[in-house]
Structure 1
């Protein structure tokens, strides 16, 4: 089977800014006032879908990195749920009905992938960002200009021709792309998802550090404008800037991660039209996602 590339993509300032919506304001009328409860807070938290595609500009590609993200400013917490690309799901409108989830983007782009996630996992997506290889490399260098610290072993160095030594290294865009693409060990795609989430967390921290000074805040509009040029997203600069201050003053202290399908909820299967897939227990994974995003 031809290798499909799994890589991390992200727009941390979109995560921190645009997944936040202010809580309902109290109007002083006891009869109509909406009590501020955990449920009300949850209503104001939006779900962002991050899609990484295995492309360097080609018209058709598959989504080999899929992350659902939510930021909870009241709890200063960021939650990231990665969906394995080989997850076997029902794709709306697909002639074969069931396929790998990464085929949804190939057949119908971000809208079909959104619909597939909602119908299979009961998660409503509010906003989407898509990035390819070239955009990823530029985004890494934009958000972490001083590089990202990762632990590299000899197997990754040899397989991906990474210019690094065994152990801790500071890597930049092109080398980080290689680092998160690696899959030729016993952990395969499961290891790639872990590296994907690892780098995502580091980029979040690097970006927050970058804008924590007066000079950084002053540069925020240009950083956002430049970052948006690397993305295909339904969020514009004006919207980000209107909500952006929450990203600066409510940066997450905690980042929690989840992988779908969860442990013990799937089995390896092979089908003629798809090859190897992860056939999941939908009930268990829907419950896991619901609990993850509501606790």
Structure 2
């Protein structure tokens, strides 16, 4: 009789545990459905923000991306100013690397005025490769000159950058502006710590008409990336990511699948205990000023020295030091 009672009690306890697990699973399912619904709604709202905007980028680029030999993910990040034109030069060129093993993000900023060998064409400035053959020719050019394999590309028109910043941070992104800036950036900025909206932040990142030229611009671009990442990591920023993706659709193109894109964004953005490491190419002591009648003022580059610096930065200790580095 006593054993029968124990059996009944165990059966009741087992039934309670099953009901508890069922309730937990039900709650989790409701949360997941709610998150999916919220994300879809936010994405739709973003699309509505850009409704009627002309598509700024062609989206039929061919790209024969090559996987990194060390299993890391390398993405060619391009900022372009189409201004309604069919072809444009890439104003901002970076290679972002994410290492799944160390969860570390590194960015190599490539200066546009480097005089390089463009496969199938006359030697010219690096940013001309995109103008001549889109991201694929630029990929080939980077591989040819710097021996760097790139698997994916992501292109953002500057109008899309403005929209993404204004969606992420309606009150602006806090930046310490070092000096007065206005020439050929469409805005007028004064020195001091202040919050910049999309157009202003873009102008700050693009300014190059001072003694530092492109070197100063690359340093500011790296500074802006870190500030935007910090803002995106805030609770409000995270909830706006689907809306941002929707808002920039007419101005954004990539060969990554949506699944890979979202997974990579999640890994990079939520790995907030590590700062983004950056490297500027050409590195210090590896270039000189040059001039060609067909190309104008250029940077003559020691390619072997820069190949070594890139390999050490991406695959070694990553402690290459130079002006323009941050987070090291």
TM-score band w.r.t. shorter chain: 0.7 to 0.9
CA–CA separation in structure 2 for the residues paired with 1:161 and 1:108: 28
- SS class of match (2:180): helix
What's the TM-score, normalizing by structure 2? 0.69
Give the match for residue 114 of structure 2: 87
Which stretches in structure 1 are left out of the alignment for 5+ residues?
Answer: 1-20, 22-38
Once structures 1 and 2 are overlaid, which stretch shifts more, 182-191 or 221-230? Answer: 221-230
CA–CA separation in structure 2 for the residues paired with 1:161 and 1:242: 35
CA–CA separation in structure 1 for the residues paired with 2:269 and 2:208: 35
- SS class of match (2:181): helix
Higher relative contact order (CA 8 A, sep 6+): 1
1:167 matches 2:188:
no
1:139 matches 2:160:
no
Find 1:270's aligned residue among 278, 291, 307: 291
Once structures 1 and 2 are overlaid, which stretch shifts more, 66-75 or 277-286? Answer: 66-75
In our comparison, the structure showing a higher alpha carbon Rg is 2
Give the match for residue 105 of structure 2: 78
CA–CA separation in structure 2 for the residues paired with 1:248 and 1:143: 14
Q: How much is the aligned-residue C-alpha RMSD, in angstroms?
A: 2.5
1:1-295 aligned within 5 A:
43-94=70-121, 96=122, 98-156=123-181, 160=185, 162=187, 165-210=190-235, 216=239, 220-242=241-263, 245-247=266-268, 249-251=270-272, 253-295=274-316
What's the TM-score, normalizing by structure 1? 0.76
CA–CA separation in structure 1 for the residues paired with 2:108 and 2:209: 23
1:115-154 deviation digits (Å, cap 9, x = unpaired): 1001111111111011122112112223444421112245
- SS class of match (1:80): strand
CA–CA separation in structure 1 for the residues paired with 2:92 and 2:130: 11
1:161–1:155 Cα change, 3 Å: farther
Which stretches in structure 2 are left out of the alignment for 5+ residues?
Answer: 1-66, 317-328
How many residue pairs align between the two structures? Answer: 250
